[in-house]
């Protein structure tokens, strides 16, 4: 399954912890979790795609890891997924995260109990 379809299947009711979401999306994508590449741990990795997952994050959480996957490890496709177990304004969060990630080549998704935002540039 491709990453976008896997993200669409994630619901907050699936899990509450990052490791659980990592395992879930890895199973959907037939990927591996917590893979160490050149001393850097990647949350989910498979098919030249790296995914950093953060649960109930601050706006900047996970960006350093995602950028490391892209620039230091040279992974072609990098995703940052912010998952909230509570309500947030998904559109506002998505806009702000987009401003931070602009021109970095990192795709992202924001998932809340009732909404999703998926940006694949």
Block residue for tokens 């490890």: 73
At residue 9 the predicted structure's pLDDT band, cuts being 50, 70 and 90, is very high
| Contact in structure between 3 and 29 (CB atoms under 8 Å) | yes
Q: Compute the distance between CA of residue 88 and CA of residue 93 in angstroms, rounded to an integer.
A: 8
Strand-pair category, 106-111 with 116-119: antiparallel
Query: Considering only the top CATH level, what class is 3-119?
Result: alpha beta
Is 13 or 43 the better-scoring residue by pLDDT?
Answer: 43
Which pLDDT value is given to residue 86?
92
pTM of the complete model: 0.95
Which pLDDT value is given to residue 14?
75
Share of the chain above pLDDT 70, in %: 100
**Is residue 48 scored above 80 in pLDDT?**
yes
Q: Compute the distance between CA of residue 64 and CA of residue 71 in angstroms, rounded to an integer.
A: 10
Question: Per-domain residue ranges for the chain?
Answer: 3-119
E strands, 4-83, are: 32-37, 40-46, 49-55, 77-83
Does residue 25 sit in helix, strand or coil? helix
The string of pLDDT tens digits covering residues 16-41 is 899 999 999 999 999 999 999 999 99
Which is it for the CA torsion 62, 66, 71, 73, positive or negative? Answer: positive
**Is residue 64 scored above 90 in pLDDT?**
yes
**Is residue 112 scored above 90 in pLDDT?**
yes
């Amino acid at each position: 399954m491709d990453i976008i379809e896997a993200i669409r299947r994630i619901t907050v009711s699936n899990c509450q912890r990052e490791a659980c979401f990592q395992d879930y999306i890895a199973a959907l994508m037939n990927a591996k979790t917590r893979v160490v590449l050149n001393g850097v741990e990647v949350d989910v990795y498979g098919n030249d795609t790296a995914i950093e997952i953060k649960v109930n994050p601050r706006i900047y959480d996970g960006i350093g890891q995602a950028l490391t996957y892209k620039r230091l490890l040279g992974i072609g496709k990098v995703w940052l997924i912010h998952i909230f177990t509570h309500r947030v304004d998904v559109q506002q969060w998505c806009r702000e995260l987009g401003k931070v990630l602009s021109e970095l080549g990192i795709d992202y998704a924001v998932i809340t109990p009732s909404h999703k935002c998926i940006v694949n540039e």
